Amino acid sequence: MILKVSEKALREAAKVLKRGGLVVAPTDTLYGILADATNESAVERLYEIRRPSGKPFLVLLPDESWIEKLCLEVKEEYKKFLKVEGLTVVLKKKCNKLNYVSKETLAVRIPKVGFIKELLKEVKKPLVAPSVNPEGEKPAETIKEAYNYFGNKIDLYIDAGVVKGEPSTILDLTKDVKILREGKVKKEVIEKLLNRKL
């Protein structure tokens, strides 16, 4: 099923995710394939269609309270990075929650804008959200491209027209601060927040 971005689409997407389905929808960067991160079989299904198991997925969080709920470790002085739009942070795990997503660390982001922020609020759970492409292909920028990749393997497609943002910047905070991928948030912005060069 394909729905245009709307209140109805938001409710429908939340319903599909809550019952363990897969949804393609616009995130705060690109289109993403969304699944309830707390539902192991939904995540397994996503791994099957999206990429070989072993390469961990990014997890979008509804809010900062989930850092503690998922027992993730973040130094006090690095908490400011959670508030930066378009910045994904890799954090160390202190327990085995979401081990089927990733074992020792977890890459997380808290979306600040748009449909995805509202959807997370509605679902009230973290969502895994890889980009919409089979391993090695270019991420889909339209629902037509997404459908050509995955067809009926996805339960619901949310159409927001052409979505081609920059991917998020990935920052490793497990030891010291390290940029793993520069994207939406530039190195200078991170250095300014840190008050030092990287």
Q: Are 82 and 73 in contact (CB under 8 A)?
A: no
Q: For the chain, which residues make up each domain, given as ranges?
A: 2-194
Q: Cα–Cα distance between 79 and 131 in angstroms, integer?
A: 25
- Tell me the two tokens of residue 47: 């791994």
End-to-end CA distance of the chain: 46
- For 82-139, write each residue's pLDDT tens digit: 999 999 999 999 998 999 888 899 999 999 989 999 999 999 999 999 999 988 889 9
2-194: in CATH 3.40.30.10: no
Q: Tell me, rounded to whole angstroms, the distance of Cα 13 from its chain centroid.
A: 15
- H helix or E strand, kind and range, residue 24: strand 23-26
Stretches where the chain sits below pLDDT 50 are none
pTM over 0.85: yes
